[in-house]
Every structure is written in C-alpha cells, then in structure tokens.
Amino acid sequence: MEHQLVSVVDFGGQYTQLIVRRVREQGCYSEMVPWQSAAEHIRDRKPSAVILSGGPKSTLGADAPDLDFSVLEGIPTLGICYGQQLMALRLGGLVEKSPAREYGRRHLGKTEPGSFVSVLNNDQVWMSHGDKVTAVPPGFQITAHTETCPVAAMENVAAKKYGVQFHPEVTHTIDGRALLKRFLFDIAGLKGDWTPQNFIEDTLKSIREQVGDGKVLCAVSGGVDSSVVAALLAESVGSQTTCVFVDHGLLRKGEAEQVRETFTKTFHPNLIVINAHDQFFGELKGVTDPEAKRKIIGENFVVCFERNKAVLQAHDFLAQGTLYPDVIESGSPTASKIKTHHNVGGLPDWMKLKVIEPLRWLFKDEVREVGRALGLSSEVVDREPFPGPGLGVRILGEVTPERVKIVQDADWIFREELLKTGLNKGIWQSYAALLDVRSVGVMGDERTYEQPIVLRAVTSEDAMTAQAFPFAFDFLEHVSNRIVNEVDGVNRVLYDLTSKPPATIEWE
C-alpha cells in the first residue's frame, strides 16, 4: 500500500525523531531524511508535506546545514526552529544572532486571528535557540512573537510555507500536537492512512519479498521487540523461521525460564535454547570498558550461532528487534554516537547472515501497538524494556558470575516491591545497577567494605527523553533496607535522580 508521505528533514536536532513520532501519532506515515540527501529524496519521493527540523548549528555559520528550497515549491512545508530560520534566509528574510539565548518555557504574545498558530489555546511553548528571524521573507506574515523573539511564527499561505521558532513536538509546548494536526490535515490535506494494521500488512509483504525461499534465524529474548519480530516472521514466512534464545547468563533472576515458557506458549515450538554462560563470562573476564563489553556481547551472540554450525548453515538471515532509538544512539548521519547498541554496531564484520530489522524505524510505543494488533498478550506487549547486553550494561566494571548474582538479587527485590505496590504501572523502565567502587559500612558491629547498588526508575514516552520516577522516601527506604539485609556484598543503596538528557537510561 502506498501511503501519503511526510518527510522530516533532519538538520541534526535532538528532537527530530520526536517530530517523526508525533506525525505518526496522527496516523500519517513519516520518514526522517538527513539534510545532505533531502533534495534528492524530495524530488524522488514527492512527499505530501515536509517538516524542517531544528538543529545545533547556526544558519549564519560557514558549515551550516542547507537545503535547496526550489524542491519545496508547491509542497506544504513547516520549518521548526532552525528550519524556520533557514526558510527565512533562503526565501529572502533576515536572521541575526540574538543578544540573549532563548531557552525553555516561553509564552507567546497575541497570535494573529485565523493564522496557523491561532489553534494554540495555551500560549506556553518551548524554545531552544540562539539566533532569531528579524525580517520575514516577501509574502510572509508574522503571526506570533515573544518578549525577546520578534518572529516566533510566520506564514505564507499562498506558498504553503509556515515557520515556528518554538518546538511543537515536545510536551512543554502545551498545544503542540494540535498545531501539528492542523498542519497535517487542514493545510497539507493528509488523510491519516497509516495505522499499526497497515504497518503489519506492509511489513509482512516486505519480509516475504526479502526472504523469498530463504531461512531465517530470529534472535529472541522474550521482550516485546523480539517477540513482535517473531510474530511478524510467523505470519509472513512461518516454518522458514527458527527462533533462537541465547541464555548468556546476563538475564534477570528467573528470566531465562520465563522466556522459554512464554515463548513456547505464544509461538510455534521451533525454539532453540543455547546456554552460553561460560562463553560470555570467559570473553568478558577482565573487561571494564563499556563499549568493549557491548562489542564482545554483540559478537558472541553470533559466535553462538557459528559454534552451532548446523543451525547457522541452514539459515540465510538473522532477524533482530532493533528499534529507532537504538539506531540514533549508535550514531546516525546527523547525530553524535552516544553508545553502541549490540544489535546495531556490535555485530562483527565477518558475520555472513544477512540482517532483517523490521522494527528499525519504530519507537517503543509503536512496537507495542503493533504487538497488540498482532494479538500478543499484555504480558509480552507491556514488558519493560531490557537491553540486549542484559546486566552487562548494568554492572560497571568487570562482569563476573558473582557480580551478576548481586545485581539479580537486588533487582528482584526492587521489582517485587514495585509489583506489590502497583508502582510499576507508571514506570517505563526500572532496574538495579552495581557500581565499580566499594565503601565502608557497619553491619553487626563489624566493619564492612562492600559495593553500592544504584536503583533507577524512569518515566518516558519513547526512550528519547526520560525523567526519574518520584518515589516517596519511605518506599525507597524500605527497598534499601531489604537489599542491604538480603543481598550479600551490598552495604549501600543509592537512587539515581538524573533525567535523560544529560544521562542515558542505562548506566553503560
């Protein structure tokens, strides 16, 4: 099925992926395209609408990301932040460096009645810029301003060009979704023809075309991502798929057994379980660098297949549950690499299997919706995200069986208390991490010199940003008391209050 396309041109902004997600929330298919290839993409794909993202550079700089605006002629276009500034410059307006940077919550002055931004019932918006438009191009009208930003919004209705200096895609712009909805439907005239069911139909067709008569290995963990991939493969190529669960010894307490049981009940029993505890712990011995650990874990997943020659040689493809945030954090053409995800940048060059990643451009909430449309149980669909490297990225320093057991036991207590109180329902991700330091304590009138556990729980919509969950102190105190009393080797418990950014959700 051919969908109406909204192309989001990425100028390196931290919210570009969120723009894509917000468009998809409205039922409109959207793709992100790097600015370097955007002109060619727009000429070839002929999108129904284009959104120009924000970005960290200045449009006044010599190395400023650019775009040939002639390709946008006749296409409804919305410029956001950097996108508005570039639109102003390229169409004959002026942009100047601001004497004071405008960052955070701001309130718009009176908007022009009937204008694009008049749909905003709440005037709170989110700003993040150092330059500003000081003169709009010919044919444009200023439709909103703030105390320090003379052109907070501008439009040229006849040319179908609109710009906002603020970010409608973030939740801090209260009516941002309404603004995007107006652009997509009232201005661009989109139908909203992209749904989870449509995604499933398109993906099933794509998998059949890619696989043909080939055989597929599907790496599964029991989490929602790999489970949805397995369900898509079961629907598309059925018996041509073999599901493989590598038990690397870095799972949470009791999880390996739960995965086996859940998977064999949910899908066909064509599941191979590989116990690779000794292999992974052996390769990780003495390794402390987080990037090195991720690489080793990613490579050893494939080594497991290599050592099972009969399985490996009988298959042509390796299917993975890679998601869009994984791709972004591992480094896109316009974003800095934050950390390598084992299923994106951690696979070895010598791997002969061709990779299938049907969820590569989806966010977690979209994957859950697809899972529900496929009929997967809430036990699978609503499971908390768990990293492919497992506890390997929740243990700072060397990963050993003894240190894994400490984290498993502490994490079990934390999750048990969350379930008991029902607090788990408001949390995106929660876990216990083990630090690579020791501290002095007192237990039973004796000195201890043991390790601290860090508890982390966050709320999030898509893992691109996250906030620490605001637990009551007595809950944290209760969990802390249980951990130091029941887990050998721990004498302190800390709670991580840091948001993402500047931190990431995982510690490594």
Say which residue the tokens 């992209």 belong to: 194
Say which residue the tokens 């004796």 belong to: 446
Peptide bond into 502 cis (omega under 30): yes
Of 3, 159, 17, nearest in space to 90 by CA: 159
- With b for 16 or more beta-carbon neighbours within 10 A and e for fewer, the 17-35 pattern comes to bbbbbbbbbbbbbbbbbbb
CA atoms in the 13 A half-sphere facing the CB of 96 = 11
Catalytic residue among 169, 366, 450, 506: 169
How far is it, in rounded angstroms, from Cα 230 to Cα 238? 9
Decide: 233 and 196 in contact? Cβ < 8 Å: no
Q: Pull the structure tokens for residue 334.
A: 């316009």
Q: Is 136 helix (H, G, I), strand (E, B) or coil?
A: coil
Catalytic residue among 3, 41, 129, 167: 167
Q: Are strands 153-156 and 467-468 parallel, antiparallel or unpaired?
A: unpaired
Decide: 275 and 247 in contact? Cβ < 8 Å: yes
Going across the sheet that includes 153-156, the strands are 29-34, 5-10, 49-52, 77-80, 161-164, 153-156, 141-144
Residue 327, sorted as left (phi over 0), alpha (psi -120 to 50) or beta, turns out to be alpha
Q: Is 225 helix (H, G, I), strand (E, B) or coil?
A: helix
Of 174, 75, 155, nearest in space to 114 by CA: 155
Say which residue the tokens 């057991």 belong to: 405
Q: Are strands 153-156 and 161-164 parallel, antiparallel or unpaired?
A: antiparallel
Catalytic residue among 28, 81, 149, 304: 81
Decide: 458 and 384 in contact? Cβ < 8 Å: no
CA atoms in the 13 A half-sphere facing the CB of 166 = 33
Q: Is 81 a catalytic residue?
A: yes
How far is it, in rounded angstroms, from Cα 92 to Cα 179? 25
Residues carrying an active site annotation: 81, 167, 169
